[in-house]
């Protein structure tokens, strides 16, 4: 058994995971994301809390959810793994950041997380600052500017069926 502990940072208590409640235009598409990095999940929850309060004036809390996943249970799903933030990864992220749902048919995607600095690079790419959108020059320039070695890994679930492979560990912790 290959069990891994993963974390999800949120501004709400997640009692039942529903991938449709995810945010659109994300790295791997609309869905549910977890990370092996507790500090990354914590930082995301606190950042999203700050955004909710500052941008929308809504009081909220930040929560850290802990799950376990038996990676061998993913064998029955359509899984895509990106070991590194390479050219294939950046093209995949760019495609998903352009559409509301997702630009692929994978149940689970594993790979680096595009952070805030990455988002700035991707916005510049979509603004045409690196050349024509979709051109090799523009994509390679974006990839060069992304600090791939600093990107924490994430696991993305596209379907409620796939997300059942996550087992919650205890109660969520308010941050």
pLDDT > 80? residue 113:
yes
Give the pLDDT score at 133: 87
Contact in structure between 165 and 72 (CB atoms under 8 Å)? no
> Which pLDDT band, with edges at 50, 70 and 90, does 166 fall under?
very high
pLDDT > 90? residue 86:
no
Mean pLDDT of 78-88: 92
Give the model confidence (pLDDT) of 52-69 as tens digits: 999 989 889 999 999 999
Residue reference for tokens 């069990």: 3
Burial of 72 (0-12, 13-18, 19+ CB in 10 A): exposed
pLDDT > 70? residue 136:
yes
Give the pLDDT score at 148: 66
What is the spatial distance between Cα 167 and Cα 175, in angstroms, rounded to a whole number?
Answer: 21
**Which positions ≥6 away from 136 have C-beta within 8 Å?**
none
Structural domain spans, the chain: 3-174
Give the pLDDT score at 156: 97
pTM of the model: 0.88
pLDDT > 90? residue 94:
no
Q: Where are the alpha helices (DSSP H) in 57-174?
A: 87-97, 116-126, 136-145, 160-163
């Amino acid at each position: 058994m290959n069990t891994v502990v993963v974390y999800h940072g949120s501004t709400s208590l997640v009692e039942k995971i529903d991938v449709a409640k995810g945010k659109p235009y994300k790295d791997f598409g609309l869905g549910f994301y977890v990370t092996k990095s507790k500090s990354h999940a914590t930082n995301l929850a606190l950042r999203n809390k700050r955004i909710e309060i500052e941008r929308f004036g809504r009081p909220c809390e930040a929560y850290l959810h802990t799950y376990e996943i038996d990676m061998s249970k993913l064998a029955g799903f359509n899984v895509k793994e990106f070991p590194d933030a390479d050219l294939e990864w950046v093209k995949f992220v760019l495609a998903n950041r352009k559409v509301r749902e997702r630009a692929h048919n994978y149940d689970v995607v594993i790979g680096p997380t595009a952070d805030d600095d990455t988002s700035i690079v991707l916005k510049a790419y979509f603004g045409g600052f690196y050349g024509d959108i979709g051109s090799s020059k523009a994509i390679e320039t974006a990839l060069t500017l992304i600090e791939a070695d600093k990107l924490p890994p994430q696991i993305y679930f596209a379907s409620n069926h796939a997300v059942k492979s996550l087992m919650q560990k205890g109660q969520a912790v308010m941050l």
